[in-house]
Chain A
Amino acid sequence: MPLYYFNIYNGNGLTEDEEGRELPDLEPARLEALQGIRSILAEDVLQGRLDLRGRIDVLDEHEETLFSVAFREALEIKDAVPAADNAG
């Protein structure tokens, strides 16, 4: 199975993946990135914050970037209607 690396870019800069993971192809690699982002964001939410400014770059075994997944893509967000409703 091919080896994929998952480098995280967010407020802390780059967190490089030195280990990588063997996965069957690109689709599981994309899912791995999405689940990783959700896991990180869930922890942030438990601590009362949500910072969607980040991404994961998925690299192949030659360390060529295959694609990126923005943190924002990992979530379906439904925000409350602001102001008017809340004021009542």
Chain B
Amino acid sequence: MIDAYLLKLRARDAVSEEEEEAIRSLFSEVKEVAADKTVVRAGERLHFSIMLLDGLLCRYKDLRDGSRQISELHVAGDFADLHGFTLKKLDHSVMTLTPCRIALAPHERIRAVATEHPHLARLFWLTTNIDAAIHREWVLSLGRRTALARVAHLFCELRERLAIVGLADETGFELSLTQTDIAECMGLTPVHVNRTLRELRERGLVEFRSRRVTILDLAGLKRVAEFDPGYLDLEPEPR
């Protein structure tokens, strides 16, 4: 059930069998949620955090006119709102972009596991730090990258993150996002995303069709994106 999460942690540090058991004990319930459902509403009091087992979730904020900024995408194995454990309420909402399977970790269980296993507490901290690093990289995209480089960078990041949990390889990955979703991630419009995807395709870098991202030239795509996976902290070492 939490295999993806363990892969994600073990890409950064060793996790013992005892710790693995402790992680398994975090979860009280598994739920199936349809696409386009808000699972955490900004401001509501939180008593559990959500582990994504399958599907895609996003963090988002809206303006009054309905325009939306997605600030992070979550893939299988992400503890999507672990920061809700310390914050107790979020400044953003979390919604499903595809049908999702999620597991709920009651906050009292997170507290107990973190108290009994300080190393796991540090790994929980690490993963929220990685989320923060992803946010900073998106700020760079939104503030400074061209539309072409933004979309290229998003595909590079997702490929890297999905590869950790066995859902991507050098040739590509399944991605059940619409052009509207990509526009809301990268501060563009769906029409602009469509034109940008065409340019990426014509340059022979990447193709996004029928819910699959096909990488045509990974080195070239990374070059256009100025993608350096360092911010994803993929070197295993003691934490």
Contacts and interface: CB of A to CB of B under 8 A. Distances in A.
B190 A40 contact: no
Interface string B176-197: 0011100000001111101100
A35 B195 contact: no
A8 B191 contact: yes
B147 A32 contact: no
A75 B209 CA distance: 31
Residue of B146, B188, B189 with most partner-chain A CB within 10 A:
B189
Interface string A35-52: 111111001001100000
B194 A21 contact: no
Interface residues of A, number: 20
B190 A6 contact: yes
B67 to A, nearest CB: 9
Contact of B189 (A39, A46, A47): A39
Interface residues of B, number: 15
Interface in A27-75: 32-33, 35-40, 43, 46-47, 56
A63 to B, nearest CB: 16
Interface in B4-58: none
B209 A40 contact: no
A12 B198 contact: yes
B180 A21 contact: yes
Interface in A1-23: 6, 8, 12, 15, 17-19, 21
Residue of A8, A33, A39, A46 with most partner-chain B CB within 10 A:
A39
A43 B192 contact: yes
Contacts of A37: 191
Contacts of B178: 19
Nearest to B147: A43
A36 B180 CA distance: 11
A15 B190 contact: no
27 contacts: A6-B190, A6-B191, A8-B191, A8-B194, A15-B194, A15-B195, A17-B191, A18-B209, A19-B178, A19-B190, A19-B194, A21-B190, A32-B191, A35-B191, A36-B189, A36-B190, A36-B192, A37-B191, A38-B189, A39-B189, A39-B192, A40-B195, A43-B146, A43-B147, A46-B146, A47-B146, A56-B191
- Please list the 6 inter-chain residue pairs (A to B) with the smallest Cβ-Cβ separation, ordered nearest first: A36-B191, A39-B192, A39-B189, A36-B189, A15-B198, A35-B189
